[in-house]
A and B are shown apart, each in its own frame.
Chain A
Amino acid sequence: DTGVSQNPRHKITKRGQNVTFRCDPISEHNRLYWYRQTLGQGPEFLTYFQNEAQLEKSRLLSDRFSAERPKGSFSTLEIQRTEQGDSAMYLCASSRPTDTQYFGPGTRLTVL
């Protein structure tokens, strides 16, 4: 059990640029989640995958955000035309069915 990994750990970008983050879940976990955490707040749910199917999306996930999990293993979260309000920590978690969610270390995004 190597844990959930996320890359990159930090990303600094200019407003208007596109960014992509990657999450590698724990290998036997078929469920994968993305959350966003802003400074001083708890994580907020963004989206959820069961295998390769995206089953739930939060209203926080605007049209500029897209997430994929093409083969039911790793997942990517892309943000197009970044805005300063997108600056946050993006967290990935994975789990077995009906089991605890295990979180990765997060990707910290700073939009200048």
Chain B
Amino acid sequence: GDSVTQMEGPVTLSEEAFLTINCTYTATGYPSLFWYVQYPGEGLQLLLKATKADDKGSNKGFEATYRKETTSFHLEKGSVQVSDSAVYFCALKRDSSYKLIFGSGTRLLVRP
């Protein structure tokens, strides 16, 4: 069945460091791909998405490119801030389905 695999956390970085969180997926066809973020005590928020191969999603300095050949959707940010500390979830959704399938999440901790 469809699945999403994320790198295990926590990922601990100093402020202004470069961030990469790896995400790979298994799915039939061409799913849409998403990154959601969950700040402490809050609900999931959509961070960015891409709906077809080679699309790049971007928001708030975060970017991810839909790579069909490597079935990946890695999240990157050039310079993280303390306020980026949160749990990040990669997810997919097939066009033929209503449900999102999530990875297990990666906790990011950014130190001043």
Mask: chain B, 76-110; 1 = CB below 8 Å from A; 0 = not: 00000000000001010000001111111100000
In the complex, chain B residues whose CB is within 8 Å of the CB of A106: 43
Known A-B contacts A43-B100, A45-B100; the reply to A100 vs B49 at CB < 8 A is yes
The minimal Cβ–Cβ distance linking A47 to chain B, given in whole angstroms, is 9
CB distance A40 to B105 under 8 Å? Answer: yes
CB distance B91 to A31 under 8 Å? Answer: no
Query: Which A residues, 1 to 57, have Cβ-Cβ distances below 8 Å to chain B?
Result: 4, 31, 33, 35, 40-45, 48, 55-56
* Interface membership of A102, Cβ < 8 A: yes
CB distance A91 to B98 under 8 Å? Answer: no
In the complex, chain B residues whose CB is within 8 Å of the CB of A76: none
In the complex, chain B residues whose CB is within 8 Å of the CB of A58: 99
CB distance A44 to B43 under 8 Å? Answer: no
**B103 — nearest CB in chain A belongs to which residue?**
A42
Could you show 19 A-B contacts with beta carbons less than 8 Å apart?
Answer: A33-B98, A42-B89, A42-B91, A42-B102, A42-B103, A42-B104, A48-B98, A48-B99, A55-B98, A56-B98, A56-B99, A91-B43, A91-B44, A100-B46, A101-B100, A103-B36, A103-B43, A105-B43, A106-B43
